[in-house]
Structure 1
Amino acid sequence: MSVFMVFLRPKLCLQFCALLTSFIGPHENSPKMSDFGDWYRGIPEITRYWMTGCVTASLLGRVGMFSPYSMLLDWSLFAYKFQIWRPLTALFYYPISPQTGFHWLFMMYLMYSYGKSTETGVFSGRPADFLFMLFFNWICSVIISFATGFYFLLEPMVVSVLYVWCQHNKDQIVSFLFGAQFKAQYLPWVLVAFNLILRGTMIELAGVVVGHIYYFLMFSYPQEFGGSVLLKTPEILYKWFPSTVAGVHGFGSAPEGRRAAAGNAGGHQWGRGQQLGSN
């Protein structure tokens, strides 16, 4: 069944949207529903759009609104059948089954936790820059998919965002399963090993590669090697998602420690071992 068959079921689509609205919208006589709506609206804007797209596409596929085969990133169909939507649908859709359900929920938890922390911390007040990071990581994930052959982009996208956060908070202690605690800089590699053991795949490694490419081009190269900023957010994104802070902080400037030594105390504290927003 083609992905566009979903539009031939308007009644089901309307019912599904109404169901989402019943959870998200305001409910004067339903405190629990209102609490859920407040939680949902409290998710940062770009992360909220990303999560909503992933949850909606995956659940619609789970209930049979379209065939999973119409959503995966199949390069032969992309090239020879001109099914150009596949890189986009592979960004949002992930097949939910009894075998993959827990993994999908785990990825959605990481998306919520580290997408939110990255958007409100590393990119605080700059949703356009965060969106551009997602766009750049998506392009890189698509290219790696072409080389390696994986069909869905959920894992590399989530891990790439997590990697950027971990690089900005290398010495912060994070918790993992069974109460294990370690520095954030090791978390991406723990996830790679964890999924290699449980699922026998290393697709998360693609996310580490993508996240490192972005972090190096946007932060490491300008800050540690004195190079120019190689990535720049398009102006049109600033028009769509205006910044709420003055200037473009932290992009291409010297690391916080060097700025502090030079007597410039402006901006966020990127010092290692400190939580975001701490002094």
Structure 2
Amino acid sequence: MAYQTFRQEYLQVPPVTRAYTTACVLTTAAVQLELITPFQLYFNPELIFKHFQVWRLITNYLFFGPVGFNFLFNMIFLYRYCRMLEEGSFRGRTADFVFMFLFGGLLMTLFGLFVNLVFLGQAFTIMLVYVWSRRNPYVRMNFFGLLIFQAPFLPWVLMGFSLLLGNSIIVDLLGIAVGHIYFFLEDVFPNQPGGGKLLRTPSVLKAIFDTPEDDPNYNLLPEERPGGFAWGEGVSWNC
């Protein structure tokens, strides 16, 4: 019975969120079981481009360190905000969501060539948090019962929290920078005078991931603003 309940809950998670979080958990489990080591996963441009270890372009986004507080904290935020994006502003637009992953990952990898970071998964999580927070500006956040603020401040609160824990803020700044670039190109620039849509999801991704829904009104659900449902002011959301 417990297995069936877990299976049903697992299959209800939207596909991109399910695939990414599962890959992260399985990668961490493989490291904990000593089936692989972090040295086989980390981002190393020389090994990637000179020794053709191209898997590192992906695996460096899947490992968040050994099981502990930092790992659980990252998994909770990754799962929560990735799922809310996929079920919110990307509802019925799986191909566009996958394209955001690819665009963000490519841009982050390029920036990663100039900063001393060997794993980019945490920065990718901050990117997802940033995009969600900018698309839901009126949601009130409650950070562990200590702070109450509007959603757009969430990435900066997380950066401050990292600073208090003694972690490098370069990770957070990288995620915020990439998230802002995507948000500007996708949500801001197209609505500016003389602007236009620069990011277009390739048709091959639409052919693979987007399938017609049985409900013809599936994509007609009311949204108060681009990127979010009608959360409304005064809504409190625990981080």
TM-score (norm 1): 0.75
Measured on the aligned residues, the alpha-carbon RMSD in Å equals 2.2
State the distance in 1 between where 2:212 and 2:164 align: 43
The answer as to 2:107 corresponding to 1:154 is no
The answer as to 2:207 corresponding to 1:239 is yes
Alignment of 1:153-172 (within 5 A): 153-172=120-139
**2:15 pairs with one of 23, 33, 45:** 45
Contact 2:139–2:231 (8 Å) recurs in 1: no
The answer as to 2:217 corresponding to 1:217 is no
Amino acid at match of 1:276: F
Kindly state the Cα deviation for residue 277 of structure 1 after the two structures are TM-superposed: 4.1
**1:269 pairs with one of 210, 224, 232:** 224
Kindly state the Cα deviation for residue 266 of structure 1 after the two structures are TM-superposed: 8.7
Contact 1:126–1:244 (8 Å) recurs in 2: no
How high is the sequence identity, in percent, across the aligned residues?
Answer: 30
Contact 1:126–1:243 (8 Å) recurs in 2: no
SS in 2 for 1:47: helix
Higher RCO by CA contacts (8 Å cutoff, separation 6 or greater):
2
Larger of the two Rg values belongs to structure: 1
Q: Deviations over 1:55-81 (max 9, x none)?
A: 111111111001210100012222332
Contact 1:77–1:83 (8 Å) recurs in 2: yes
Unaligned runs of 5+ in 1: 1-29, 250-264
Cα separation, partners in 2 of 1:267 and 1:153, compared to 1, 3 Å: same
* Equivalent position of 1:258 in the other structure: none
Bigger share in helix: 1
SS in 2 for 1:182: strand
Amino acid at match of 1:95: G
The more displaced of 73-82 and 227-236 is: 73-82
The answer as to 2:114 corresponding to 1:144 is no
Q: Deviations over 1:185-213 (max 9, x none)?
A: 10000011111210321111111001001
The more displaced of 142-151 and 176-185 is: 176-185
The ranges of structure 1 where at least 4 consecutive aligned residues each deviate by more than 4 angstroms after the TM superposition are 243-246
Amino acid at match of 1:96: P
Contact 1:166–1:187 (8 Å) recurs in 2: yes
State the distance in 1 between where 2:211 and 2:139 align: 27
Unaligned runs of 5+ in 2: 233-239
Cα separation, partners in 2 of 1:241 and 1:196, compared to 1, 3 Å: same
TM-score (norm 2): 0.87
Q: Deviations over 1:78-109 (max 9, x none)?
A: 23322222111112123315xxx211111111
State the distance in 1 between where 2:200 and 2:31 align: 35
The more displaced of 82-91 and 51-60 is: 82-91
* Equivalent position of 1:6 in the other structure: none
Kindly state the Cα deviation for residue 182 of structure 1 after the two structures are TM-superposed: 0.9
Contact 1:127–1:243 (8 Å) recurs in 2: no
Cα separation, partners in 2 of 1:209 and 1:225, compared to 1, 3 Å: farther
SS in 2 for 1:148: coil
Kindly state the Cα deviation for residue 278 of structure 1 after the two structures are TM-superposed: 5.5
**2:85 pairs with one of 80, 100, 118:** 118
